[in-house]
Chain A
Amino acid sequence: MRFLLSPNVFQRCASLRGIDFVRFKYSKLPETMKFEPNLGSTVDKSEVNELPLSKAMLTKLEQLSALRFQSEEEIASVEEDIRLAQKVFEVKTEGVEPLYSIVEEVINCPLRDDTIVEPTSAARALQNAPHVVEDFIVVPQANIPQEANPLLEEHAKSLKKAVSESN
């Protein structure tokens, strides 16, 4: 929902020759103009093609994040953030250059000379590693993906159930 106010309210704010510079008082607004600050999109969850997240996508997110979802609430939280993010697409941005970093407008990534300033020892580099044997970090076998998360299977089942019940 856009933060809409009638033009004359803005004019009251804008007439800054008077005593009050900010004469807009929320409590004095007529009921028809009151609303909750909505920082999200008016888009409903069902209108967002990407939602709800499929089991495959949730699994992919777990693997990319090296995390595991712990509860239904967590999944819902993530989906809510994604729903709120749709608001960004309301802005017309054709022909606009993306801005990645403010300093890029001023300086262009200076480089240091390639000279050794301060050598690092293995001891210092490894001082915070939890499990080290003779300067090697010890890990279990790699290249095996995370085990399937039973929560995601339950979640997929309950979604299917909800869909078939509403049909």
Chain B
Amino acid sequence: MTVERAVQRAISARPFNALITETFDTALNHESNALQRGLKPFTFVAKDCFAYQGVPVTCASKMLENFTAPYTATILQRLVENGGSLLGKANMDEFAMGSTSTHSHYGPVKSSITAGNLDNDWRIAGGSSGGCAVAVHSGFADVALGTDTGGSTRNPAAFHGIVGFKPSYGTLSRYGHIPLANSFDVPAIFANTVADCERFYGIMAGVDSYDSTSLDPLPRPENVDLTKLTIGIPKQYVHPMLSDDTLDAWNNAAKLLESTGCKIVPVDLPHTEYSIICYHILAETDIASNMARFDGVSLGHRASDDAPSFNELLATSRTESLNDTVRRRIFVGNYYNVRENRGKYFQQAAKVRRLIKQDFDAAFAQVDVLLTPVTSHSAPLYSEVRAAKFKSRQRQDDYFTQPANMAGLPAISVPMGTCSNGFPLGLQLIGNYLEDYRLLAIANFLHELHTNSA
């Protein structure tokens, strides 16, 4: 769409609080440059943990309230060079820690699926890339760039009935992304269709000399016979917390695929129940280290200058500008790695990670792709989530999405109709490592099947 149109929509969508920073003038410049070069422009937003030179990047934290990016993330640059117009920086959970997009210094993201008045209660946007999902759903971004460390793109995509694609680890450069957990973080894509996801992925994917963990995905496969696939249903994902609506959607999707000739097969991923705790230990270890750079000295929020010592200044600056979730994870991450613990937590978690990956390797020896839920049900109300206490909710929400991050696998949330209350549901397809284009083809197939059957 044109930037002019997108800006109008973005302004109408302000009550949802999807953007921390609006970059409308920048978008207009991008658009006119693209047109001059004979490209067809498109609008996009980037989660506010990606750097764009000259624009604030805050990670939704008071710590980075006044931080201006000194350079531009590689994948943002690639989008702009291919016609992208950056409309704004999307709101999120602070430092990407959370699955509701409510823990932001700039106020919560309110889902655009909410009907009626937003003042006192609203549907949560999911997280941590909630702002991105709203930007696409409410119609001002053709594509949004989020991240996915434990489900942060697939979760909000499912809640909004749009496509959320987490590529294979390493295929999208992380240069210019403010890290959460380096071995799990993946930049990820929100769009209205699978075809769009594939198009924008193609623009951004591949090796970047500035990111030594970057690599190319496998090339597009020649002829995937989509009616001869073997689809795996992991037994351990059949979980009591799943709503009846989600179970029905899952069943129906499997039946649809079977009706075309695909085989549906149960698979065993025995270490699934350990995935979340393993993730917490490894991620919090990285977090304790990654967050150490936010000192208020070389950058970031600095407490008033009458601190008696350097260490006091650090402690005060950090304690008053990082939220409680962030602080807790830093404490716990440091605990796991104190000398007294002799590395036992991290080593054990890394070994369990190997076992989780081996579970997936064994499964992919039998099947082409896995079909699973994304979330246990459709988007809850903010009041429901607050009552249940954010902490326990965070652990439960990641159950279905997080294991794909452990093994770096490509995974995609595909919209699958609505629940009995009319709110969107999504289902997840997980592919083998680096088979991103194959996964996208299968996801497109499933989405078309579903759309045609409705």
Contacts of B241 in A (CB 8 A): 26, 37
Q: Is A130 an interface residue (CB 8 A)?
A: yes
Instruction: Name which of A39, A68, A78 has the most chain B CB atoms within 10 A of its CB.
Output: A39
Q: How far is the CB of B316 from chain A (nearest CB, A)?
A: 8
**B297 to chain A: which residues have CB within 8 Å?**
129-130, 137, 139
Contacts of B336 in A (CB 8 A): 85
Closest residue on chain B to residue A36 by CB atoms: B240
Q: How far is the CB of B268 from chain A (nearest CB, A)?
A: 9
Is the Cβ of B332 less than 8 Å from the Cβ of A82? yes
Residues 226-265 of B at the A interface (beta carbon under 8 Å): 233, 235-236, 238-242, 244, 247, 250-251, 254-255, 258, 264-265
Would you give the shortest CB distance from A154 to chain B, in whole angstroms? 17
Contact status of A99 and B354, CB under 8 A, knowing A22-B233, A66-B318, A130-B302: yes
Interface centre among B66, B258, B349 (most CB of A within 10 A): B349
Residues on B with C-beta less than 8 A from A72 are none
- A residues 30-80 with Cβ under 8 Å of B? 34-35, 37, 39-40, 50, 53, 57, 60-70, 74, 77-78
A37 to B239, CA, bound (A): 8
Q: How far is the CA of A78 from the CA of B288 in the complex (A)?
A: 13
B248 CB, min distance to chain A CBs, angstroms: 9
A88 to B255, CA, bound (A): 36
Given known pairs A98-B350, A102-B170, A130-B302, the reply for A139 and B310 (CB within 8 Å) is yes
**B405-447 interface code vs A (CB 8 A; 1 in, 0 out):** 0011000000000000000000000000110000000000000
Contact A96 B355 (CB under 8 A): yes
Q: Which residues of B contact A137 (CB under 8 A)?
A: 297-298
A142-B310 in contact given A88-B349, A128-B68 (Cβ < 8 Å): yes
Majority SS of interface residues in chain A?
Answer: loop
B324 beta carbon closer than 8 Å to chain A:
yes
- In the bound complex, do residue B319 and residue A68 qualify as a contact, i.e. CB atoms below 8 Å apart? yes
Taking a contact as CB atoms under 8 Å apart, the answer to whether B352 and A66 are in contact is: no
Q: Give the Cβ gap from B434 to chain A, nearest Cβ, in Å.
A: 8
> Does chain A have a CB within 8 A of B10?
no
With contact pairs A37-B396, A128-B299 given, residues A85 and B313 touching in the complex (Cβ less than 8 Å):
no
B residues less than 8 Å from A60 (CB atoms): 338
Residue of A nearest to B376 (CB): A37
- Which of chain B's residues have a CB closer than 8 A to the CB of A29? 240
Q: Enumerate chain A residues within 8 angstroms of B258, measured Cβ to Cβ.
A: 21
Q: A129-B297, A142-B311 are in contact. Are A37 and B251 (CB under 8 A)?
A: no
Partner of B332, one of A16, A50, A78, A93: A78
Given A21-B264, A88-B345, A100-B183, A2:B355 Cβ within 8 A: no
Asked if B334 is at the interface of the complex by the 8 Å CB criterion, the answer is yes
**Contact between A93 and B255, CB atoms less than 8 A apart:** no
Beta-carbon contact of B213 and A103 below 8 Å: yes
- Residues of A contacting B305 in the complex (Cβ-Cβ under 8 angstroms): 131, 140
Q: Judge whether A147 is part of the interface by a CB distance below 8 angstroms.
A: yes
Question: Tally of A-B residue pairs with Cβ under 8 A?
Answer: 237
Q: Which residues of A contact B340 (CB under 8 A)?
A: 57
In whole angstroms, how far apart are the Cα atoms of A130 and B251 in the complex?
A: 56
Contact assessment for B233 and A144 in the assembled complex, using a CB-CB cutoff below 8 Å: no
A66–B311 touching, CB < 8 Å: yes
Residues of A near B318 (CB, < 8 A) are: 65-67
Contact A91 B266 (CB under 8 A): no
Task: State which residues 182-222 of B face A: CB under 8 Å.
Answer: 182-183, 209, 212-213, 215
Q: Chain B 278-299 against A: per-residue CB contact (8 Å), 1 yes, 0 no? A: 1011001000100010011111
Chain A contacts for B328, CB-based, 8 A? 74, 77-78, 81
Q: A109-B212, A124-B70, A142-B309 are in contact. Are A88 and B352 (CB under 8 A)?
A: yes
Contact present for A129 and B332 (CB under 8 Å): no
A89 — which chain B residues lie within 8 A by C-beta? Answer: 348
Assess whether A87 is interfacial by the CB under 8 Å rule: yes
Chain B residues near A90: list those with CB within 8 A: 274
Cα A96 to Cα B330 in complex, Å, equals 28
Closest chain A residue, CB of each to CB of B253? A21
Let me know if B277 is at the binding interface, CB within 8 A.
Answer: yes
| B308, B327, B347 interface centre (most CB from chain A within 10 Å) | B327
Closest CB pairs A-B (n = 9): A102-B408, A98-B350, A144-B309, A93-B351, A130-B302, A99-B354, A142-B310, A128-B299, A21-B254
